[in-house]
Amino acid sequence: MQQNTQEFIDMAELLKIIAHPVRLCIVHGLWKNGGCNVSHMQDCLGLPQSTISQHLAKLRAAGIIEGTRSGLEIHYDLCQDTVRRLLPVLFDRKENAL
C-alpha cells in the first residue's frame, strides 16, 4: 500500500471534487454533450451563473475540465481521461447491468 499511497490520495481527491451533485451533473453533461458553455449549463441546471462558475473553477483547478474562449463565450470540455473512463461506469447502466 505504501508504494501506491499517493495514487490513492490523488484518486480520492478527484472523487471528492466530482462527488458534489452540481459538479457531477456538469461533468455528466459535458461528457454526454461533448462540451458546452455556461449559458447552456445555466438553462439545464436552473442555477445562477455565479454558482455554476464557482463549480467550474473547482473542476478547472483539478484539471478535470478546460475552457476554450471564443469571443465573450467560453466552451467547456472534459480533459481528464480518468473521469472519461469513470462516467460510463457510473451512468451507463444498460451496459453494466449484471
CATH number of domain containing 60? 1.10.10.10
Full residue range of the structural domain in which residue 24 is found: 2-96
Q: Which residues pair with 74 in a beta bridge?
A: 69
Q: Cα separation of 44 and 26, whole Å?
A: 9
Which residue from 55, 59, 77 is spatially nearest to 68, judged by alpha carbons? 77
> Total structural domains in the chain?
1
Beta bridge partners of 67: 76
What was the pLDDT predicted at 23?
Answer: 96
Is a pLDDT exceeding 80 seen at residue 16? yes
Place of cell 461506469: 89
Percent of the chain with pLDDT over 70: 91
pTM, two decimal places: 0.86
pLDDT tens digit sequence for 39-75: 999 998 999 999 999 999 999 999 999 999 989 999 9
Rounded average pLDDT over 8-13:
92
Instruction: In whole angstroms, give the CA distance from residue 21 to residue 27.
Output: 10
